[in-house]
Structure 1
Amino acid sequence: MVARMRHYFEKNGFAVCTRFAERLGMRVATVRLFFVYMSFFTLGLGFAFYLTLAFVLRLKDLVYAKRSSVFDL
Structure 2
Amino acid sequence: MFQKVLTFFEKQSFGVCTYLADKLNMSISKIRLFFIYASFLAVGFPIVFYVLAALVLDIRHYIKKIRLRIWDL
Scaled to the shorter chain, the TM-score interval is: 0.7 to 0.9
Higher relative contact order (CA 8 A, sep 6+): 2
Per the alignment, in what secondary structure is the counterpart of residue 14 of structure 1? coil
Q: Which residue of structure 2 aligns with residue 64 of structure 1?
A: 64
Q: Residue 19 of structure 2 aligns to which amino acid in structure 1?
A: R
In the alignment, structure 1 segments of 5+ residues that lack a partner are none
Moved over 6 A (4+): none
Q: CA offset at residue 28 of structure 1? A: 0.4
In the superposition, the TM-score normalised over structure 1's length comes to 0.84
Q: Residue 40 of structure 2 aligns to which amino acid in structure 1?
A: F
Give me the CA root mean square deviation.
1.8
Identity of aligned residues (%): 33
Q: CA offset at residue 3 of structure 1? A: 2.1
Q: Which has the higher helix share?
A: 2
